[in-house]
Amino acid sequence: MAEPGPVTLDARLLGSAGRVHVRADPNCTEAQITISTYATRGPAYDAVRNAQLTQDSGRILAEVDVQAASGRTVRNVRGTYQRGIQNNVGGTDFGGRVFEGDFVVGNDMGVSSHTVRDIQNNYVGNTFGGDRVDRGMRSSGGARRVIIGDLHIGPDGQETVYANGRSYSMDELETMAANGDPNSPLQYISNDPAAGGNMFVTGDGNSRFAYNYYGAGDDGGIVHRGSTPEIEIHAVVPEGSSVDCRTTSAALVTEGKVDTVRVHTASGSVDVTSAGTVEANTWSGQVTVDGADTVKATTDSGQVYIKNAERATGTTDSGQVYIKNAERATGTTISGDITIVASKDAKGASESGRVEIRNSETANGKSSSGDVSIVSSKHATGISTDGRVDIDDVQGWSEARSSTGNVRVSASTGGEVRASSTTGSVSVNALPAAVDEGLKVKAEGPPGRVRIPAGANTQQTAASSSGERDFKASERSGPGRESGSGRD
Do 65 and 98 lie in one domain? The reply is no
Residue 440 lies in a domain: yes
Terminal alpha carbon distance of the chain: 85
CA-based nearest residue to 297, from 275, 281, 308, 311 = 281
pLDDT band of residue 57 (cuts 50, 70, 90) is: confident
Kindly state whether residues 132 and 157 are assigned to the same domain.
Answer: yes
**Is residue 33 within 8 Å of 53, Cβ to Cβ?**
yes
CA–CA distance, 197 with 215 (Å, rounded to integer) = 8
Q: What is the pLDDT of residue 20?
A: 97
73-87, 148-162, 230-244, 327-341, range with the lowest pLDDT:
73-87
In a domain, 291, yes or no: no
Which of 146-150, 279-283, 316-320 is the least confident region? 146-150
Question: Can you give the pLDDT at residue 17?
Answer: 85
Q: Are residues 85 and 202 in the same domain?
A: yes
Does residue 386 have a pLDDT over 70?
yes
Q: State whether 107 and 30 are in the same domain.
A: no
Statement: residue 426 has pLDDT above 60? yes
Residue 477 is assigned to a structural domain of this protein: yes
Confidence (pTM) = 0.67
- Residue 147 scores a pLDDT above 70: no
pLDDT interval class at 202 (50, 70, 90) = very low
Instruction: Taking residues 166-171, report their average pLDDT.
Output: 68
* pLDDT at position 224 over 90: no
Residue 222 lies in a domain: no
Please give the angle made by the CA atoms of 342, 336 and 87, to the nearest 5 degrees: 115
- Which SS3 state, helix, strand or coil, does residue 447 take? coil
Q: Compute the radius of gyration of the chain from its Cα atoms.
A: 31
Is the domain of 119 the same as that of 42? Answer: no
Segment among 128-132, 170-174, 440-444 with least mean pLDDT: 128-132
Most confident listed range (135-139, 262-266, 474-478): 262-266
From 83, 131, 94, select the one nearest 109 (Cα to Cα). 131
| Rounded distance between C-alpha atoms, residue 325 and residue 308, angstroms | 5
pLDDT for the residue numbered 193 = 40
State the Cα–Cα distance between residues 216 and 132, nearest whole angstrom: 11
Residues in CB range of 260: below 8 A, 6 or more apart: 242, 243, 275, 276, 277, 278, 279
Measured CA to CA, the distance from residue 218 to residue 223 in angstroms comes to: 12
How big is the CA angle at 348 (ends 344 and 351), to the nearest 5 degrees?
175
Give the domain range for residue 84.
71-214
Q: 309 pLDDT exceeds 90?
A: yes
Share of the chain above pLDDT 90, in %: 50
Domain boundary (151, 186, 214) is at 214
Q: How many domains does the chain have?
A: 3
Is 388 within a domain? yes
Question: What pLDDT does 129 receive?
Answer: 31
Asked if pLDDT for residue 427 goes beyond 80, the answer is yes
Please check whether residues 41 and 86 belong to one and the same domain. no
Domain-embedded: residue 304: no
Q: For the residues 342-349, what does the mean pLDDT come to?
A: 98
Assess whether pLDDT exceeds 90 at residue 128: no
User: Which residues have a Cβ under 8 Å from the Cβ of 106 and sit 6 or more positions away?
Assistant: 76, 77, 81, 94, 95, 96, 131, 132
The pLDDT tens digits for 98-125 are 222 233 332 222 222 222 222 333 322 2
pLDDT of 471 reads 47
Do 40 and 79 reside in the same domain of the chain? no
Q: What is the mean pLDDT of residues 201-215?
A: 36
Are 145 and 246 in a shared domain?
Answer: no
Residue 165 CB neighbours (<10 A): 10
pLDDT over threshold 60, residue 308: yes
pLDDT-derived band of residue 436, with 50, 70 and 90 as boundaries? confident
- pLDDT at 179 > cutoff 80: no
pLDDT at 174: 67
* Same-domain status, 102 and 134: yes
pLDDT band at residue 40, thresholds of 50, 70 and 90?
A: confident
Residues 77, 207: one domain?
Answer: yes
Query: Which residues lie below 8 Å from residue 111, measured CB to CB, with a gap of 6+?
Result: 74, 76, 77, 104, 105, 131, 132
The runs of H, that is alpha helices, within 188-301 are none
pLDDT at 170: 65
For residue 390, name the pLDDT band (cuts at 50, 70, 90).
Answer: very high
Half-sphere exposure of 348 (CA within 13 A, CB side): 33
Q: What is the 3-state secondary structure (H, E, C) of 169-218?
A: EHHHHHHHHHCCCCCCCEEEEECCHHHCCEEEEECCCCCCCEEEEECCCC
Residues 216, 91 contacting (CB under 8 angstroms): no
- For residues 149 and 226, the answer to whether their CB atoms sit within 8 Å is yes
pLDDT surpasses 70 at 354: yes
Of the candidates 189, 169, 173, the residue with the CA atom closest to the CA atom of residue 181:
173
Share of the chain above pLDDT 70, in %: 61
pLDDT on residue 180: 72
Q: Which one-letter DSSP state was computed for residue 127?
A: -
pLDDT of residue 187: 53
Whether 207 is in a domain gets the answer: yes
Q: Residue 222: left (phi > 0), alpha (psi -120 to 50), or beta?
A: beta
- pLDDT grade, residue 446 (50/70/90)? very high
What pLDDT is recorded for position 263? Answer: 98
Domain co-membership, 79 together with 7: no
Q: Which residue has the higher pLDDT, 144 or 384?
A: 384
Residue 21 falls inside a structural domain: yes
The answer to whether residue 155 scores a pLDDT higher than 50 is no
Q: Are 75 and 204 members of one domain?
A: yes
Residue 465's φ and ψ, nearest 5 degrees, are 55, 30
- Of 154, 187, 214, the one marking the end of a domain is 214
CA 73, 79, 80 angle in degrees (round to 5)?
90
pLDDT tens-digit series, residues 232-266 = 999 999 999 999 999 998 999 999 999 999 999 99
